[in-house]
Amino acid sequence: MSADTSGAAGGIAGWATHLVETMGGPGAGLAIALENLFPPLPSEIILPLTGFAVGQGALSLASALIWTTAGSVIGALALYQVGRLFGRERMYALWGRLPLVKTADLEKTERWFAKHGTKAVFFGRMVPIFRSLISVPAGLERMPLPIFLTLTALGSFIWNSCLIMAGYALGAQWGLVEQYVGVLSKAVLGLAVLGLGLFITRKARNRRVPPVTASSGPRGHDG
């Protein structure tokens, strides 16, 4: 990687640049593993920067793809274990203490995940923000580990490949990737906040509606 780019890069970009320059592929993998554990570290910066480093000869394309996918799987596995160790019983106990929610809501979520969990894990790896969070419910629902690892590796490989190749193709303009993917991230976050707001509003309204009591029988007529 050129000295000019390294010196100009600051913050997360500078940190990722240092890892890739000093450690090569393993450094890129470490950065992505940490990105999975701490979503504020954006893959839309780390991966295109890694692609630029490939173009500069700091590491090979195969090394970049293998190590970043391995980092994604390791980070996701850690979050999967968090969900698995926390367990359904603790989740139900915690859920029962939260305001504006019902056990039935959690049961519906479980049924949805049982039906669509494989698609959620696979495609979730390609959605900013949720690419990290989706591993926790997979652990809570005890998705078979071989299936989880396979889906995570495939989804991560596709996401990583797209952003690394974009950074490679754009060269010194790799930062453009972060701008466009950043818009997508903000849109996803906005939709999630909107959905949560609607959920809380609906629950609050339902609690204000008095329960309907059944009539004890037909009322008599005055004679």
Is the pLDDT assigned to residue 69 strictly greater than 80? yes
CA nearest to 52, candidates 98, 86, 6: 6
Instruction: Give me 47's structure tokens.
Output: 């991966």
Q: Given a cut of 60, is residue 164 above it in pLDDT?
A: yes
Model confidence at 5, in pLDDT bands (50, 70, 90)?
very low
For residue 141, the model assigns a pLDDT of 85
- Give Cβ neighbours of residue 198 (< 8 Å, ≥ 6 apart): none
Higher pLDDT, 140 or 204: 140
pLDDT by residue (tens digit) across 166-203?
888 877 666 666 665 666 556 656 665 665 565 556 65
pTM: 0.69
Report the distance separating Cα 57 and Cα 48, nearest Å.
14
Letter for the amino acid at 28?
A
Would you state the pLDDT for residue 24?
Answer: 82
